[in-house]
């Protein structure tokens, strides 16, 4: 928020679901997940709040008040997600790919300790990103020859050159929501 003042900051929906499930017994998880789904798939904040109320009033909601409390505590960070349409929600639903990249970059920076200047740090990060993508590309190319039906182990495409499911529809939606921020770069 400090670096990009116009950015919309939200919590990761997947992590919010996992955090609320921490309090739910294994036998009730499917039923609770079904009650949580209307919250994060709601059309707007009012519908999500109604769905949260429905969950809170349910038998499972009364059984697991800590799960409801998790959503209530994260509500201000969750509701920006509801401002987006379905196509964009599908792309920003989770931050796992970003977190994976950040983890690998932190590991590289941590091993170096300090840098003579900012340019040295930026150069190292750029080289690390290229190395991460090259490694994944080699793994994907190697497994491309794997016969159908056998499991593949290569990492997904998370960095440069990646293919994100539904990105064209999400980009179209972004150009309508934020034309001043997106259109100059298209």
Q: Where are the domains of the chain?
A: 13-83, 96-162
Mean pLDDT of 168-182: 87
Mean pLDDT of 176-186: 86
| 155 confidence band (pLDDT: 50, 70, 90) | low
Higher pLDDT, 172 or 138: 172
Share above pLDDT 70 across residues of the chain, in percent, rounded to a whole number: 90
Residue 139: pLDDT above 80?
no
pLDDT at 163: 56
pLDDT at 159: 45
Full-model pTM: 0.69
Residue 150: pLDDT above 80?
no
Transcribe 59-103 into DSSP letters.
HHHHH-HHHHHHHHHTHHHHHHHHTS-HHHHHHHS--HHHHHHHH
pLDDT at 47: 96
Give the whole-angstrom CA distance, residue 79 versus residue 84.
10
């Amino acid at each position: 928020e400090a670096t990009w003042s116009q950015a919309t900051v939200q919590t990761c929906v997947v992590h919010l679901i996992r955090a609320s499930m921490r309090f739910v017994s294994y036998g009730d998880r499917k039923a609770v997940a079904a009650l949580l789904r209307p919250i994060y798939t709601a059309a707007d904040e009012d519908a999500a709040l109604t769905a949260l109320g429905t969950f809170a009033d349910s038998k499972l909601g009364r059984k697991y008040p800590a799960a409801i409390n998790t959503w209530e505590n994260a509500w201000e960070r969750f509701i920006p997600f509801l401002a987006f349409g379905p196509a964009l929600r599908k792309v920003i639903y989770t931050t796992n790919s970003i977190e994976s990249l950040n983890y690998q970059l932190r590991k590289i920076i941590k091993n170096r300790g300090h840098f003579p200047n900012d340019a040295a740090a930026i150069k190292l990060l750029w080289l690390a990103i290229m190395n991460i993508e090259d490694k994944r590309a080699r793994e994907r190319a190697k497994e491309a020859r794997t016969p159908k039906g056998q499991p593949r182990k290569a990492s997904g495409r998370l960095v440069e050159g990646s293919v994100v499911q539904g990105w064209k529809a999400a980009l179209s939606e972004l150009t309508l929501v934020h034309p001043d921020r997106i259109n100059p770069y298209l």
